[in-house]
Amino acid sequence: MRIVLLGAPGSGKGTQAQRLVARHGVPQVSTGDLLRAAVKAGTPLGRQAKAAMDAGELVSDEIVLGMIRERLSEQDAASGFILDGFPRNLSQADALDRMLAQLTQPLEHALHIDVPEAELIKRLTGRRTCSSCGAVYNTHLSPPQQAGVCDKCGGELIQRSDDNEETIRNRLGVYTEQTQPLIAYYGQQSLLTTIPGTGPVDEITARIERVLAGDAA
Ligand code: AMP
């Protein structure tokens, strides 16, 4: 299974990717997660990426492509992967196609999770992530049983530093300008399916599974 999850920040790519990992046993490859880990570890790459991330801008293609090349060459990606948050612009998509062509492992699906902007803002401002296991909650829509504590592992729930209103607006603008053109790009390659991304999370997962099984969305 080699798929790309496309969608605006807050569309649920990460949540759905985690579910697909559990069901299909292929890794989630999230450039956002890889970059946040590099920032946290204080690596040179993390230091370079931090300013762009804090502003809600894209990190340079050079950094992101280097990370992806390394991650996809790891053993667990040999049986497939779920790309979450990558590619983010046309030049990344083109580089990915060339990388996968060399490995004779082309993409099989690009799934666009479609969510209206007002809903995205609600989701992003309420988003909390477990600092220990990465589980995602929302203070408005799917709160944990105890505020600030992960239901699954008891870890501390934190708000991402780029989930503030100003950075959110910028990230949505960057999405419209740079990432949205990928919908047409994958449409032309006949890889694209748009999935309505509102409603119960289980229902969205079921829509995705129907596409992966070869049925209509
Ligand atoms: P995400 O967790 O996917 O929302 O990503 C958080 C931030 O990491 C983005 O706002 C960007 O600054 C950066 N980022 C993540 N993925 C990419 C990418 N593929 N290209 C450039 N920047 C990225």
Q: Give the mean model confidence (pLDDT) for residues 80-98.
A: 97
pLDDT at 192 over 70: yes
Q: Is 7 in the pocket of ligand 1 (CB under 6 A)?
A: no
pLDDT class of 45 with cuts at 50, 70, 90: very high
User: For the chain, which domains are there?
Assistant: 2-27+74-116+173-212 (3.40.50.300)
How many CB atoms sit inside 10 A of residue 207's CB? 21
Residue closest by Cα to atom 2 of ligand 1: 32
Of 5, 16, 31, best ligand 1 pocket probe by most atoms within 8 Å of the beta carbon: 31
pLDDT at 155 over 90: yes
Q: Where are the alpha helices (DSSP H) in 10-59?
A: 13-24, 31-41, 44-55
**DSSP-derived 3-state class of residue 58:** coil
Q: Two tokens at 11?
A: 């569309």
